[in-house]
Amino acid sequence: MADLLIENLSEVATPIGSTSCAGVHQRSIHRLEASVVLCRAGSISFVGTLADLERREGPEALTCLPRLDGGGGTLVPGFVDPHTHLPWAGSREAEFAQRLAGKTYLEIAAAGGGILSTVSATRAASEEDLCTSMLGRLGHMLRHGTTTAEAKSGYGLSLADELKQLRAIRSASETQAVDLVPTLLAAHEVPPEHRDRRSAYLDLICKEIVPAVAEQQLARFCDVFCEDGVFSPDESRRVLEAGASHGLAPRLHADEFADSGGAELAAELGALSADHLMAVSDAGIEAMADTGVTAVLLPGTSFFLMKHTYAPARRLIDAGVPVALATDCNPGSSYSESMPMILTLSVFELGLSIEESLTAATLNAACCLGLGEEIGSIEEGKRADLVLLDAPNLLHLGYHYGVNPVRVVIKNGQVAHRAY
Ligand code: NIG
Ligand code: FE
């Protein structure tokens, strides 16, 4: 694997460390001016001035290195998107039109639309079709600077269809640059054939789906949609404990529309994250802070559902909860692959600073996927997953909105995408 020297950068901006940053630490990122970054064998081997690198390597050693001209741009860690529902078939644009005309997401779901409409389309699709449509979405992700993403099942809701989605995630991960971390979300909704026998569906998840997924090593995490009207905290606990007993670490959709006890359950189980949290209670925030559960915030969902209600990001940070950001990319409640869009919403609607937002979209996101030792910051020894922004400094990531700021994406030390 060839080396790569990235030079002519106006700024290298990155959080530091391999554990998540909470409270004031979330905004204490490193900003190095006039630095170069050397990638060697897929990892970051040097960050600092050219003069220091020449001292370390000897000036001759640098003359024959392949170089990337940073063009006066800003280098940040590759974005990590820790919550997506990437493998789906079909489209929900008709529901989108209904929402534009005034219907709510929950009204549409109650009328038989919502998640279940994507479940029927996904059940009818082949594994190959799921993989192909995912590759299109992954192309958007890469072009917007995402180098690692979590991907959930949850539109299959049967043993065969959950396995089909997870196998499609595995194939998609192997065929393009963005690394995918798979999550089993069989408890996303109760499927129609179990509507009057929900405990039988919970049995199916715990006794058949979880063991099969673990046996085939198709997922790293187990997730549940813990929400009033979907799965209760007791039902969620049962699923997450079954997952944990098979080595699938727990994470949750928690308190998205109503305070449903999801944050408290995440704390009780030591989950890696509680996600959404638009309606989280003060007690839930406190429980998360006490146990170090990461809050994965999805402002694209508030935006796309036109809720005008965003998760209490400032209160979470002030309480000491590490905050991460994700797209929630899915066809119903947040159809976007763009982490720069999520950073825009973080600054304008969640009220996070650009530094807090960068940490949330890189290191904290990596840590809540258990990858903090490997990715999420620009430091010697970490994997060389980097994004060159067409921006003279980090602030432009928020200031210049509505454009794609990504000029080059480097994955494992190699150029994986170049916009121009
Ligand atoms: O995270 N909240 C539950 N699941 C998704 C929505 C999925 C869908 O509408 O298809 C979410 O918003
Ligand atoms: Fe989600």
- For position 331, which CATH number holds? 3.20.20.140
Domain termination site, one of 329, 345, 367 = 367
204 and 73 co-located in one domain: no
Residue to substitute in 328, 329, 336, 342 for testing ligand 1 pocket (most ligand atoms within 8 angstroms of CB): 328
In a domain, 372, yes or no: no
User: Is the shortest distance between the CB of 302 and ligand 1 below 6 Å?
Assistant: no
> 259 with 126, same domain?
yes
User: Does ligand 1 lie within 6 Å of residue 83's CB atom?
Assistant: no
Tokens 């993989």 sit on residue: 131
Last residue of a domain, one of 327, 343, 367: 367
Q: Taking a C-beta distance cutoff of 8 angstroms, is the pair 268, 240 a contact?
A: no
56: CA distance to ligand 2 center in Å?
46
The answer as to whether 68 is a domain residue is yes
Same domain assignment for residues 220 and 287: yes
Overall pTM surpassing 0.85 (yes/no) = yes
Tell me, yes or no, whether 240 and 149 share the same domain.
yes
Return the pLDDT at 18: 97
Total domains present in the chain:
2
Residue 338 lies in a domain: yes
- 177 shares a domain with 31: no
Asked if 177 and 273 sit in the same domain, the reply is yes
- Alpha helical stretches, state H, 101-158: 105-110, 115-124, 127-143
Question: 115, 236, 327: which to mutate for ligand 1, most atoms within 8 A of CB?
Answer: 115
Sign of the four-CA dihedral 325, 327, 330, 334: positive
Structure confidence at residue 64 (pLDDT): 87
- Which is nearest to 254 in space by CA: 222, 229, 279? 279
> Same structural domain for residues 413 and 286?
no
- Residue 12 belongs to a domain with what CATH number? 2.30.40.10
Alpha-helical runs (H) found in 176-232: 198-204, 210-215
Instruction: Determine which residue's CA is closest to atom 3 belonging to ligand 1.
Output: 225
Tell how far the Cα of 225 is from the centroid of ligand 1, in angstroms. Answer: 8
- Is the CB of 253 inside a 6 Å radius of any atom of ligand 1? yes
CB of residue 161 inside a 6 A radius of ligand 1: no
Ligand 2 centre to CA of 244 (Å) is 20
Whether 64 is covered by a domain: the verdict is yes
- pLDDT score, position 168: 98
My answer on whether 72 and 126 are in the same domain is no
- For residue 227, the model assigns a pLDDT of 93
Q: Is residue 324 part of a domain?
A: yes
Long-range Cβ pairs for the range 287-291 (8 Å, 24+): 287/263, 288/263, 288/316, 288/319, 288/321, 289/22, 289/319, 289/320, 289/321, 291/267
Q: Pick the atom of ligand 1 nearest to 276's CA.
A: 1
- Are residues 215 and 238 located together in one domain of the fold? yes
**How many angstroms is it from 252 CA to the middle of ligand 2?**
9
Q: What is the domain range of residue 144?
A: 79-367
Does a structural domain hold residue 393?
Answer: yes
Helix (H) or strand (E) holding 170: helix 159-175
Instruction: Give me the average pLDDT of each 10-residue run along the chain (420 residues).
Output: 93 97 95 95 96 92 92 98 98 96 91 93 98 98 98 98 98 97 98 95 98 98 95 97 98 95 97 97 97 98 94 98 98 97 98 98 98 98 98 96 98 96
Q: Which of 202, 200, 123, 121 has the alpha carbon at shortest distance from 160?
A: 123
Q: Is the CB of 255 under 6 A from ligand 1?
A: no
Classified as helix, coil or strand, 149 is strand
| Ligand 1 binding pocket includes 95 (Cβ within 6 Å) | no
CB 122 within 8 A of CB 156: yes
Mark whether 231 and 294 lie in a shared domain.
yes
Two structure tokens written together for 229: 């009207």
**Same structural domain for residues 331 and 391?**
no
The closest ligand to the CA of 88 turns out to be 1
> Do residues 310 and 404 share a domain?
no
Q: Which residues lie below 8 Å from residue 127, measured CB to CB, with a gap of 6+?
A: 164, 167, 168, 171
